[in-house]
């Protein structure tokens, strides 16, 4: 899927992505990057709302795994752990770190054999200076 198709999918299938005004900047197996404006995702302190940060990181991982699955099947989050490391006072930018090649191969083998597989992914919210402001580690499941 190209980034425009993926953005359309997110915004039509997940109303929260539309409400947050999530934009897909890049989506491939090397790099997934999503962005949204602070203006529509802030809390009472004027910093990014934790729920928006969490959602953006989850969606980045979702997009990465959906790309690995060639846009077929379904992706669900089984479990996650979140860390909020610094306040975000600028537009939100989340990336998904690509899974190691061996883990990808194991996932795809199980997915093709059983129609279901699990993969651990990490996403981060990055500040403009490159500092990690938030981190999410999650176990995602791909289902055909």
pLDDT digits (tens, 9 = 90+) for 77-101: 999 999 999 999 999 999 999 999 9
Torsion of CA 112, 118, 120, 126, to 10 degrees: 80
Q: What is the pLDDT of residue 11?
A: 94
Architecture (CATH level 2) of domain 3-71+82-99+124-137: Roll (3.10)
* 39-70 residue pLDDT tens: 999 999 999 999 999 999 999 999 999 999 99
Q: So where are the chain's domains?
A: 3-71+82-99+124-137
- In the block, residue with structure tokens 């752990």: 81
- Give CA–CA dist 140/133, Å, rounded: 22
Structure tokens at 137: 């580690």
- Give CA–CA dist 106/59, Å, rounded: 22
Q: Which residues contact 17 (CB under 8 A, 6 or more apart)?
A: 10, 11, 55, 59
* 100-125 residue pLDDT tens: 999 999 999 999 999 999 999 999 99
- Give CA–CA dist 93/105, Å, rounded: 28
């Amino acid at each position: 899927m190209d980034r425009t198709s993926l953005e359309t999918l997110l915004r039509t299938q997940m109303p929260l992505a539309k409400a947050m005004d999530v934009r897909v900047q890049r989506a491939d197996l090397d790099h997934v990057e999503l962005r949204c404006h602070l203006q529509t995702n802030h809390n009472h302190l004027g910093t990014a709302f934790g729920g928006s940060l969490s959602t953006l990181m989850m969606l980045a991982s979702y997009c990465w795994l959906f790309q690995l699955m060639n846009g077929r099947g379904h992706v669900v989050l089984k479990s996650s752990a979140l860390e909020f490391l610094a306040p975000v006072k600028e537009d939100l930018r989340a990336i998904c770190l690509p899974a190691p090649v061996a883990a990808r191969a194991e996932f795809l083998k199980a997915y093709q054999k059983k129609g279901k597989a699990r993969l651990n992914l990490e996403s981060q919210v990055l500040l403009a200076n490159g500092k990690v402001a938030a981190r999410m580690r999650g176990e995602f499941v791909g289902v055909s």
